[in-house]
Amino acid sequence: MPYIKIEVTREGVTREQKQALIVGVTNLITEVLDKDPKLTHVVIQEIDLDDWGYAGEQVSVLREKGITAHR
């Protein structure tokens, strides 16, 4: 039973985009690992910008500075 967790910053990922991720990842696991799609679980977790950081800075602060790399 594959379990795939996708974490993204909370920046307006739409329901349709999430559905596309779920379908795409499920298909990939089915094709590459020959796993039953009915047993594949995909979880998408959205993280607040204050709770995600890189390069020693919160993403919220980086966005305020106009830095959008690694989006």
* 6-60 per-position pLDDT tens digit: 999 999 999 999 999 999 999 999 999 999 999 999 999 999 999 999 889 999 9
Distance of CA 29 to the CA centre of its chain: 16
Over the Cα atoms of the chain, what is R_g?
15
Q: What's the confidence (pLDDT) of residue 70?
A: 55
Which helix (DSSP H) or strand (DSSP E) does residue 7 occupy? Answer: strand 3-9
Q: Write down the pLDDT at residue 43.
A: 98
Query: Is 2 tagged catalytic?
Result: yes
Rounded to whole angstroms, the Cα distance separating 2 from 60 reads: 32
2 is written with which tokens? 């594959």
Tell me which of 1, 2, 26, 49 is the catalytic residue.
Answer: 2
User: How far, in Å, CA of 45 to CA of 35, rounded?
Assistant: 23
Model pLDDT, residue 55:
87
Complete domains list, the chain, with CATH: 3-64 (3.30.429.10)
Amino acid 22: pLDDT:
98
**Pair of tokens at residue 10:** 């909370």
